[in-house]
Every structure is written in C-alpha cells, then in structure tokens.
Amino acid sequence: MKRAPRPSRRQLVVAGAVGALTLGATAILPATNAMAATGCAVTYTTNSWSGGFTASISVKNLGDPINGWTLGFTFPDQGQKLTQGWSATYQQSGSAVTAQSLSYNGSLATGAATSIGFNGTFTGGNPTPTSFTLNGTVCTGGTTPTTSTPTTPPPTTPPPTTPPPTGTTPVAINGQLRVCGVNLCNRYGKPIQLRGMSTHGLQWFAQCYNDASLDALSKDWLADLLRVSMYVQEDGYETDPAGFTNRVNTLVDEATERGMYALIDFHTLTPGDPMFNLERAKTFFAAVSARHANKNNVIYEVTNEPNGVSWSTIKNYAEQVIPIIRANDPDAIVIVGTRGWSSLGVSEGGNSTEVINNPVNASNIMYAFHFYAASHKDNYRAELERAAARIPMFVTEFGTVTYTGGGAVDVASSNTWMDLLDRLKISYANWTFSDADEGSAAFRPGTCYGGTYTGTSVLTDSGNYMRNRIRTPDNFPTS
C-alpha cells in the first residue's frame, strides 16, 4: 500500500536502519601486530535456513595474554560465503576466512574468551569450517597448547572480561552498545531493547526540552533513550547549521547527564532523496561525531525517511556518510533509513529483500523502520518480523495514531505493535515528546509553557499509553 504524503510539516514518519558488514571475496586483511597465541579453543554453532545461515564462534585463549588477534578458518568447499559479520573485521578469499579483533575485544588474557559471529549463504550444505587458528596457532579445543607451554597455566574459571555495572541508569548498566547478529547488544554481549521518546522539530518545540521535562523523561517515565530530531529542511538545519548543531549537542549532553542514550536524527523527509543533503550530512556528522566521540551513549541516524528513491541510492548515501562518523567515533551504532519512509519499502510496494540481499557495506549498523499504529497494521508487522530475523532493526520513530500524526490512539494495533517489538527486542522511540496540537503528542497543548511534566494529568491519551509501556522494568541482562 502506498502511503500518501503528509498534509502537515509537523507530521513525520519513522526511519532507521540496521546494517551489517559485507565482505569482499578477494580482499586482503591488514596485518596484525598481535603476538602469537600459544593455545586456543573454539566453539562453533550455527542455525540455518534455506540458502543461508547464522554462525556464532566463541574463541578462548589458552596461552599467554594477547593484545590483538586474528582468527582464521576454512570452509570445506567454495559454497559458503560470508555476507554480514559482527564483533570482528572479516575477509574471505575462496574458502579461507579471517576475522580480526576490534578495539573493544582485542585483549584476551589467559583463559579469557570472546564471541563473534556472521551471517552467510551456502550451496549444497552448511558444514562446519575446519582448521581454526588464533594468530597462526591451531586451535585444538583442548587445554594443552599446540605449540609451547604457557608461562601461566589457564585458570579453571576464566576471569570476567567486563566489570559489573557501577550505576543504575541505562547507560551505566549497558555501556557502549554494539550490533551482534540481528540484535542490539550491551557491553556484556547480551541483546537488549531501548525504549524512549523522540523530540519534535527543534525549530518548533524548543520550549519542550528543558531540565524539568528531561528529568521527567528519565526519572518519571524511566526512559532509556532520547531521540533528538533535527529537521534539515522546513526552517531547520539548512537555515542555521551552527545554531542547530549546538542545539543537538546540548540535548545530547542533557541525555548523557541523565544516563540515557541519545539518538541523533538527521531528519530528512522532503525532499525524499538523501543525496540532496549529502554535503550537509557530511558537515553535520563530522561536527557532532567529533564533539561526542568520547561518549558511550550516542547513536547516529543518518537519514530519517527516504522516499521516492531506490535502495541503491540510500545505500550509496549511507556508505559516504558512515566513514565520516567512523573517523571520529569508530564504535558507535549507526542507523540507516530504509525505502518508503523507512518502511523497508512496504509503503512503496516493496519489501526488505532488497536490503537483506544488498546490505550497507559497513559494520555495527542497524536499519530503521517506522510505523503509525492506526494506519500500518498486519502487512507492516509481518515485514518487520521477516526482516528482523535477517538484519538488525531499530524502530526510530512510530506513533500510536495515524501516519498524519493525528487522530485517536489505536489501542489494539498499538498493543500488537508493542508486544511484537518487546518479543523481538527491537528498540524504539515514540513520536513525540512534545505538546503539539495533534494526537501523537505526549503532552497536552500548552504544557511546555508551564513547569509541570511529571504524572499523568499533563499527558494526552498517547502520552499516558507510552508512559505506561516505557515504565515497565527493563531487566537488562549483565551475565
């Protein structure tokens, strides 16, 4: 079903995208400076479907401590091809594969282990790889080193590689996030779901974002996430790049102070071609990624709701913008919008196959999906669930009402959507944390000119609904 353009400039649609690493078949892996391991063990598990599979690899260092590693393995034949990888940099040449450590998991003490994984395709079967090596040493899976005796015997129980949380906020518990498989994972490598709210356009509702309202979001709503929605057109960024960049930076700092994750949304809607704003995006993301490079709570959404363009155009745009962010902030999650107002193409008659078969060539990325519960129902839900089994998804914007941003809350459809997102651990930001005179707004009109944001008396039906959903316990796993 094709969705008609929105009638009001204040009514937007959901966007976001997940991405995975696509590997060249003949690429050459950069040399590692890591010292040789003296023993290692590998556990390899896989789940497969018709023509594809997901593999998880746990590698344990049984020898001396190492700082930087390369895991090598060989598929039994030429039929297995890597398509997406996480927690390492992968290269494949023929049937031989190498996976090189990233900044956060390169150090392995004696007895320590780390986990990596990838998606792939196969023809004729999906047999287990052979001849795993860690920095050139064959991994036997036993406790006896294959080359020389380690100077320090491996302990019976490997030491923890991540310390326990020291606080109770979402960021204190989960730390730096990363994509693992199709999930958003915390510093313990456990899948999590972030739940929060999106601002409205900063050019229209700046009065809604102050100490009192953000305290309410973090302490009363118990939200994990603030999406900072910065329109590029419609009297937004293009009119005052420095001023809007400063506004975004301030809100990121405010979210950080409260222990929430901050999602920086480059809010493009009209025109729908992200290439129209390519140079603006490069300038903006160079500035904000440099400003927040040392934070562990910042997520970047590089294009909100592409529409009227092909997936290849969106992918091309993302692959030019992502390196700008990575140059300053190599570990942050990046979210890429999808075709048809971030509907995975559904609103333009397509589906997620185009993304699954041709993912963005970058690691640690996710893909955006947007919906409005009163307008988008079973076919949208089915496509999101189908995609989420293959690629990492993030609902960066959604409403409980119609796609125009107006109308009554569709409780039945909203419940079905929320239950689906909770079951699949898909993170979300609701539109909007504002007092706009529309059904999607969380606050009653005029609230942002007063001083009270806590409790339920200042909330709309949508605000009450979302506050009740977000306030339920997160139960973030740490072990």
Q: Would you name the residues annotated as active-site residues?
A: 305, 397
Among 188, 184, 194, smallest CA distance to 86 is for 184
CA-CA distance, 290 to 287, in Å (whole number)?
A: 5
For 235, the token pair is: 């009297």
CB 471 within 8 A of CB 165: no
CA-CA distance, 47 to 52, in Å (whole number)?
A: 9
For 304, the token pair is: 């909100």
Cβ neighbourhood burial of 2 (10 Å; 0-12, 13-18, 19+): exposed
CA-CA distance, 377 to 386, in Å (whole number)?
A: 14
Return the axis-axis angle of helices 311-328 and 278-291, rounded to nearest 10°. 30
Instruction: For the sheet with 137-138, list strands across it.
Output: 89-93, 96-100, 70-74, 130-134, 137-138
CB atoms within 10 A of CB 312: 11
- Classify strands 195-198 and 428-431 as parallel, antiparallel or unpaired: parallel
Q: Tokens 């890597």 — which residue?
A: 82
Total residue length of the chain: 479
CA-CA distance, 182 to 74, in Å (whole number)?
A: 24
